Amino acid sequence: MTRRVCLIDTDPGTDDAIALWLALASPELDLRLVTVAGGNVGLDRTLPNARAILGLAGSAVPVVAGADRPLLGAFTSETRVHGADGLGGVVLPEGPPATPGIAADAIRDLLRAESRVTLIGIGPATNIALALATEPGLAAHVAEIVLMTGAWAEGNITPEAEFNAWSDPEALAVLLGCGRPVTLATLELTAQALVTPARVAALRAAGQGACLAAAARILDGVPPSRRFGHRGFPLHDPCAIAWLLAPGLFTTRDVHADVCCAPGASRGRTLVDRWGRTGQAANARLLETLDADGFFALLAGRLAVLR
C-alpha cells in the first residue's frame, strides 16, 4: 500500500476528535502533522484538545499551534454544539506538549520536505492559507486539499454560510484559488452522515479501547439538531477523512466553487456551481452522496483498532 503523506488542520471540536482518531487508525494515511486553529472554541482550548486526542491514541504526531483568529475580522466560536471546552464536556487525560513553532511554518516545512502532501482542513482554513500565501511555489507539492467546508444550499452558522467557510472566507478563497485539486465535503454531504443513538450504540459496541469509548461519550454529548427533527446530528469532519480511505462510499461532481468575502448577510457563503451555469472552469470536486451505513461501518471498524 502506498501511504498518503498528509497533515490535518483542525479546531477540535467534537467531530474533529472523531476525524483525528479515524485518521490515526487508518494505515492508508501517513499523518505527519496536526496543526490547530481557533474555531469551534478558542485556540486556548482547541490546542490542548488536539494534544489530548492524539495522546489518548498514543500518537507521536507533532501538534503545532496556529491562528487564533481569521485573516481578517474577529474570532467567533461555536460553543452551542461543542460546549465551552470543545469536547462536549468529555475530559481526556492531558496529552503530550505541543511542538514549538507556528502552524503555517510547520506546514511549509512539510511541503518543502515532501513532494506530494495531502492537506486535510477540518476547521477555518487560516493556517493552510497562511502557508500557501507566504510561499505560493509550495503549492506544487500539494497532492490534494480535502476540506470539510461550505454549503451550496443552507448554512449552519448563518442562513447562507457554513461555519468553517464563514469563520475565514478569505482563507478559503486562497485555497480555492491555489490551482491544486480541492475536494469539498459540504453540509449537504455531511448531513447524510447522521449520528443517531443507534449508530452511537453500534460504535460503542465495536471495541474496548479508550479512544472508541471516548468517541462514543463525545457523540453522546452533542445535542440533536433542530435541522434533523432532533433525530440526530451530522458528523461533519470524519467525512473528509473517509473520502481518502474509501472513495467508493461517495459520488462526486466537478464544480466551480467560490466564496463570498463581502461584508453582510452572504459573507462566507460558498457559491457552488453544480450545473455549470457560470461557464467557469471547475476548480473543485464536490462530494455529493455518501453511503452512510458504509461510512459508519468504516468508522466503527477503524476506531475499534485504537488503544
Of 123 and 232, which has the nearer Cβ to Ca ion? Answer: 123
- Could you report how far apart the first and last alpha carbons of the chain are, in Å? 23
9 binds, among ligand RIB, Ca ion, none (CB under 5 to 8 A by kind): none
**Are 283 and 150 within 8 A, CB to CB?**
no
How far apart CA 81 and CA 156 sit, in angstroms, is: 11
Considering only residues 64 to 103 of the shown chain, the ones binding ligand RIB according to CB under 6 A are none
Partner touching 62 among ligand RIB, Ca ion, none, CB below 5 to 8 Å by kind:
none
Q: Which is nearer to ligand RIB, 138 or 241 (CB)?
A: 241
* Cell numbers placing 7: 497533515
158-177 residues labelled b (16+ CB within 10 A) or e (exposed): eebbbbbbbbbbbbbbbbbe
Binding to ligand RIB (CB under 6 A): which residues in 12-41? 13, 15-16, 39-40
HSE-up of residue 270 (Cα within 13 Å, Cβ side):
37
The interface region with Ca ion, picked from 1-9, 75-83, 123-131, 205-213 by CB under 5 A, is 123-131
Smallest gap from residue 19 Cβ to ligand RIB (A): 8
* 27 vs 223 by CB, closer to ligand RIB: 223
Cell 503549492, located at residue:
139
Positions 159 through 188 that interact with ligand RIB (CB under 6 A)? 162-164
- Does 209 engage in binding with ligand RIB (CB under 6 A)? no
Geometric angle at alpha carbon 2, from 307 and 27, rounded to 5°: 10
Q: Counting contacts by CB under 6 A, is residue 148 touching ligand RIB?
A: yes
Contacting residues for 271 by C-beta, under 8 A, at least 6 apart: 257, 258, 259, 260
Query: Candidates 10-18, 55-63, 167-175, 181-189 — which segment interacts with Ca ion by CB under 5 A?
Result: 10-18
Name the residue among 187, 277, 170 with its Cα closest to residue 228. 187
User: What letter represents residue 243's amino acid?
Assistant: W
Question: Min. distance of Cβ 115 from ligand RIB in angstroms?
Answer: 28
Q: Catalogue the active-site residues.
A: 236
Instruction: Find the part of the chain contacting ligand RIB (CB under 6 A) among 11-19, 97-105, 223-231, 241-249.
Output: 11-19
Q: What share of the chain is helix, strand, coil (3-state, %, to 5)?
A: 40, 20, 40
Range in contact with Ca ion (rule: CB under 5 A) among 89-97, 117-125, 253-261, 284-292? 117-125
Size of the site for ligand RIB (CB under 6 A): 15
Instruction: Indicate the pairing of strand 250-259 with strand 270-273.
Output: antiparallel
Residues that bind ligand RIB (CB under 6 A): 11, 13, 15-16, 39-40, 122-123, 148, 156, 162-164, 236-237
Point out which residues bind Ca ion (CB under 5 A).
Answer: 11, 13, 16, 122-123, 237
